[in-house]
Chain A
C-alpha cells in the first residue's frame, strides 16, 4: 500500500462498485426485477428509475443488481470447482511426477486445446441450456488451467531443501503437501483465481448473450444486452448500463490479478 499498488486498489474499488449493490440485492431492490409494467417501458434514467426502464417497463437498476447475483455466483462456484479439482490434480501430478504426471498432463492438455467457448457450447448441446450447464462448462475449462499452475509450483517447491528436510524427518506426503508446499504455492493460485474469475464472468455473459445461460425472466447481464440490441439507438441506457457493469467487474478482477502479481515479486 505504501509503495502504491495502484492496480490492486483500483481493481478492488471496481469490484466493490458492482459487488456491493449485488450483495444488497439479496435483501432489497428498489423495484421487483421480474414484474413487468408495460406502460412505463423504455423510460430514460430518472429519479425513480436511476438507470431507466427496459422494453417491458422493468427497472434496469434493480435488474442489474440482481443480474450480478447470477454472474458472480456462477463465476465463483465455477472458479472454485476448477481450483479445487485442478489444484488437487496439479499438486498430485507435480509432487509425484513420473507416469502419473505424464498421464494427467496429457489429459489436461487435450482439454486445454479446446477453445473454452466451444467446450461450453458442447456442454449446452448435451445438457441443455441453464445455470448448471454454464457452471459445469466454465468449471471444466478452468480445471487444466489450475492443474498446470499448481503442478509447476509443486515441482519447483518439492526440490527445495525444506521439503527434503521434512521427508528426511519422516513426515507423510499428505503432511508435506498440505502443511509445507501448499502455503508456499497459495499466492500463484490466488493470482490465477482472480484472472480466471474475470474470464468466467465474461464467459457467463457471452453464454447468456447467446441465450444459453439463465432463462428469463431471471435477469442476467449478457441476456439483457442481447434483448436490446436492435433498440440501442433509441434507448441507449438499456445497453450502456449492463455493458458498464460487465466491463467494470471484469476489469476489476484483471487489475486485482495484476496487482497481486506485482506484490508477489
Chain B
C-alpha cells in the first residue's frame, strides 16, 4: 500500500519535472534565437500563389526581388545593384549584383526573367493584374535584365518590391512549402499551427550577418496568451498587437513598445450602387454623421490617426491633408440632407467581418452614430470567408467596414475606385476620377501629386466611402532587443534586429 503511494508520488514528480523541463525549452533558449508571435500560418510560400499579408511579412526575410522597400517607403536595390530608365520612361535596365540562392547557385538574369514572366502570367500568378503594364522581360548576358513597358507606368518599381515579384531559381518546384530565395534567412522547418523556423543564410549578398541565427515565428491566434508569453520571456516580439491589449504592455519595464501608422486605410464602405445610397445627398449625410474622434477612442483606444481620404498620412508625399472640412461632423446638416433626399427613415444593413474586432467595434459605434441622425442600421456579423464572398466579390451589401492594406505607390491604392476596376467593391463611379487616375500613371513630380490631390478630393466629396482611420501598428519587443524598423508595408525586418 505504502509503496504504491510512493510510486504514484514518484510518477507525479517526474511528470511535473518533465513539464517544467519541456516548458523551459523556450525560456532558456540560446541568445541568438528570437521568438516572434504571429496569429496565423502563411497561406503559401510560392510567390505566385500567396495572397495573405500574413505570408508577406515572413517571406520578406526569405525572398527578394530586383528592388525592395525601405522603412521610409522608398525603393532601394536588392538583387539589382542599380538601374537605368530610358527617357521614354518605357525601358528599365536592371544591373544584377553577385548574389546566391539558398541552394547555393548564383542568381542569373535568366532566373529573374523566368520569375517576372511567371508573375505577370494570369494563368500562373494570383497577382498578375499588377504587372500588366509590362510588355516584355528579357536578359542581356548574365547580369542585365531589361523590362519594357507598354506605356509609361510610374508605380512599376513599387510593384517590383512585392512578394509576387520575388526571384527564385528557374528550376524550382514545391516553393509553397520549401521556398528558395536570396534573403538573409532561409526556411528550416514549418510545422503548421506551431511554428516556422528560419535560419541565417551565410551567403547573403550584403555580407552583413544578421544578429539572430534562428528565428521562430510561433503561431499564436490568441493575443492574450501571446502577451503573457512576452511577459514571461518565451516570446520576444509581438508585431501588430491589438489596441485593446495595449494597456497590458504599457509601462512594463522589460518591454519596449514601438507604434507607427500602419499605412492601412480603414473605411466605411458605402455601396454606391444601392438605390438609396446612389443619392449623393444620402452618402454625404452618412459622412457628416460620423464622429471620428469618438470612434478612435471607443474602438482603437486612441491609437490611430484620423483619415479623410483613401490614402494614409503614412504616405506624406501624396496624402491630401486639406480635406478635413469638406464633409465635417455635423449631425444636424446630415439630418437636413436626409430630409431633402426624402430618406428621413432609412433602414440599412451593415455587414461586418468577425475576424477583425477593430472593424466590428468601429461598425458598432458608427451604427450608433447613424441612428442619431435617423438611419436605422442593422448589424450583421459574418465569417471572413462569407464577408469576402458577399461584400468583396458579389458586392451584395449596404454598408461595411474594412481596412485596405498599404502599398508604396498611390496608384496601386487609388486605382481600385476606378469604375471599371474589378476590386471596386464600393461601386464608386466618377468619370472625372477615372480620368485623373489614368493620367497619374504617366507623369511624375509635382504634376503627379496635383493629380492625386484632385482625385482624393473627388473620392471624399462624392463619398466613395467614408474614410475613418489609419490605426497605429503597435509592436512590442523584449527591451533587450534593439533595431526595430517600422515599414509602411506589411513586413517584419528580422535581419535588422539585434541584442
Within 8 A of B (CB), among A1-56: 34-36, 38, 41, 55-56
User: When chains A and B are docked, how far (Å) is the Cα of A86 from the Cα of B6?
Assistant: 53
A-B contacts at CB below 8 angstroms, number? 45
Among A36, A41, A129, A230, max chain B CB count under 10 A is at A230
Interface residue? B73 (CB, 8 A): no
By a CB distance below 8 angstroms, the chain B residues around A216 are: 364, 367, 379, 381
Interface status of A217 (Cβ within 8 A of chain B): yes
**Among B55-63, B77-85, B239-247, B310-318, the stretch in contact with A:** B239-247
* Residues in A neighbouring B361, C-beta threshold 8 A: 55
Q: How far is the CB of A229 from chain B (nearest CB, A)?
A: 7
Give the interface SS of chain B, mostly helix, strand, loop or mixed.
helix
Q: Are B364 and A211 in contact (CB under 8 A)?
A: no
Q: Interface SS of chain A: helix, strand, loop or mixed?
A: loop
Counting chain B CB atoms within 10 Å of each CB, the highest count among A34, A35, A55 belongs to A55
Q: What is the CA–CA distance of A215 and B294 in the complex, to the nearest angstrom?
A: 22
Please name all residues of chain A whose beta carbon is closer than 8 Å to the beta carbon of B247 when the two chains form the complex: 231, 234
CB distance from A196 to the nearest CB of B (A): 28
Interface size, chain A (Cβ < 8 Å): 18
Residues of B within 8 A of A129 (CB): 381
CB distance from A187 to the nearest CB of B (A): 42
A242 to chain B, nearest CB (A): 17
Query: C-beta contact mask, B210-248 vs A, less than 8 Å → 1, else 0?
Result: 000000000000011000000000000000001011011
Complex alpha-carbon distance, A57 and B364, angstroms? 13
B297–A38 touching, CB < 8 Å: yes
For B203, what are the chain A residues with a Cβ–Cβ distance below 8 Å? none
Set A55, A211, A230: member contacting B245, Cβ < 8 A: A230
In the complex, the answer to whether B381 meets A36 with C-beta atoms within 8 Å is no
Give chain A residues whose Cβ lies under 8 Å from the Cβ of B365.
Answer: 36, 38, 56
- Chain B residues closer than 8 Å to A34, beta-carbon distance: 368
Chain A residues with CB below 8 A from B248, complex form: 230, 233
Residues of B within 8 A of A233 (CB): 248
The 8 A CB mask of B103-114 against A (1 = contact, 0 = none) is: 000000000000
Chain A 137-174 near chain B by CB (<8 Å), digits 1 or 0: 00000000000000000000000000000000000000
Once bound together, how far apart are the Cα atoms of A35 and B378, in whole Å?
14
Q: Is B155 in the interface zone, CB < 8 Å from A?
A: no
- The residues of B that contact A229 with a CB separation of less than 8 Å are 224
On chain A, the residues within 8 Å of B381 by CB distance are 129, 211, 215-216
> Which 3 interchain pairs have the tightest Cβ spacing?
A38-B294, A36-B368, A38-B298
* Known pairs A35-B368, A38-B294, A230-B223 / 7 extra A-B pairs, C-beta < 8 Å: A36-B298, A215-B379, A216-B367, A217-B368, A230-B248, A231-B247, A233-B248
Could you list 27 A-B pairs, sorted by A, with CB under 8 Å? A34-B368, A36-B294, A36-B298, A36-B365, A36-B368, A38-B294, A38-B298, A38-B365, A55-B298, A55-B361, A56-B298, A56-B365, A129-B381, A215-B380, A216-B364, A217-B364, A217-B367, A217-B368, A229-B224, A230-B223, A230-B224, A230-B244, A230-B245, A230-B248, A231-B244, A233-B248, A234-B247
